Amino acid sequence: MLLLAMVLLLVGTPAHAQLHDVPDRATLAFENVNVLPMTAADEGDAGAVLPAQTVVVSDGRIVAMGPSGQVDVPDGALRVDGSGRFLLPGLAEIHAHVPPGQDPPRELVEEYLFLYLANGITTIRGMLGAPYQLELREELRRGEVLGPRFYVGAPSVNANTAPTPEAAEALVRAHAEAGYDFLKIHPGVPRDSWDRMVEVAREVGITWAGHIPADVGIDHAVATGMATIDHLDGFLQATRRDDLSEDTPREEVFAATDPAKLEALVERLARAGVWQVPTQYLWNHLNGYVDADSLLALPEFQYISEGQRMGYRNQAEQRRRNPEITPASDAAHRAMRQDFLRAAHSAGVPILMGTDSPQLFNVPGFALHREIPLMLDAGMSPYEVLVSGTRAVGEYVASSLGQPGDFGTVQAGQRADLLLVDGNPLEDMARLQDPVGVVADGRWLTREAIRAGLDSIAVKYGDEGR
């Protein structure tokens, strides 16, 4: 949160009318394409991959799908050759941020939205809302701004905004009346404030997601109806060995998970069906002994400002000066978090894809492709990773937000949020990183348009230092 605020101070970008033209909704026909409908239970099931299909999109919806030669293509449709290509649902970034504040630079907002789309992300859940984002959500739905479907979290519920039950009640009622899609929880909420928040949120029909306040604890949070737990929050406190003391070195704390406690915790979470949003890549940096130069040399950093890059570097250097953060503690922390995710997945705890972009070294959109290898390393199959960013997100939106979950699968009648890639991502998930094209609410964005948009952003930030 502090980093986001700092970013806006450093960017200093003037607003202007519209960064990217919004293409009209098109009638599209993807012909002879392999489809990953994401409706099968796993990749070994019949129907997990449908070869040689024609998929027709019109007016923002998938209107027909079937074997090529058996589907009528409307006159005037834009025909897209799918030979050797795979069509799957657009991805979701379920722990995203767009610039916070009352009136951030419009150009910066549109850049973030474009970076998500350029990486195949057609749905985002914004985790720190602001009033302007409510109107931005509607502008996106009306097609006035180019970007993904946007579900807007409320401004933070935390120790300062909800210090008492009365304050918590007033806050929940205000956020619900304003029209936010869910409540965002930060640390520090007292237990009595939490319980009043839960009572009032149920009354007004709004759910809550995010961190686990220490005074609440993961079990009480789950028992009272937490929708998603982000960052695997609460795992460390619930699973650490009883023999640790305040003087235990950091790396020993991270290596001191009680296996029996972890097994019991993930079994409880699986029974409760509480979604987890791991954000592993971010936490490798937040608690890590990281090399800023190596990270900033990655190609995605050409798409953010010099001020933001400097902010990341300063954050990393500050952490390296902390005597408790060492290479040993970094390695132990990464291993612990991977153990948490591996255990949760093995127990059947539902997982959603998210990164917490643009927090430390997480460039919007691109960070999702840095997160995926960590999910695979924790034992998730490529198909399971895709489910976490497609079908499962539609299920979450329907069950938790009470809104149509009509996306996340490739089926007639679904919202036309699609991703076309060269080759099979189940064999190589890096294929997701360079889309042939993206369909966002029926609007077709070609690879050429994506690259042109990225180039314009890179040129802008490359000119900063000249």
- Return the pLDDT at 287: 87
- Checking if the pLDDT of 223 tops 90, the result is yes
**pLDDT confidence band for 28 (50 / 70 / 90):** very high
pLDDT digits (tens, 9 = 90+) for 398-448: 999 999 999 999 999 999 999 999 999 999 999 999 999 999 999 999 999
Alpha-carbon span 17 to 194, nearest angstrom? 42
- Return the pLDDT at 194: 99
Place of tokens 């058996």: 70
Q: What is the percent of the chain with per-residue pLDDT over 70, rounded to a whole number?
A: 95
Alpha-carbon span 87 to 36, nearest angstrom? 6
**Mean pLDDT computed over every residue of the chain:** 94
Mean pLDDT of 389-395: 98
**pLDDT confidence band for 250 (50 / 70 / 90):** confident
pLDDT digits (tens, 9 = 90+) for 74-117: 999 999 999 999 999 999 999 999 998 888 999 999 999 999 99
Q: Mind listing the domains of the chain with CATH numbers?
A: 2-20+91-401 (3.20.20.140), 28-90+409-465 (2.30.40.10)
Q: What is the percent of the chain with per-residue pLDDT over 90, rounded to a whole number?
A: 89
- Checking if the pLDDT of 6 tops 80, the result is no
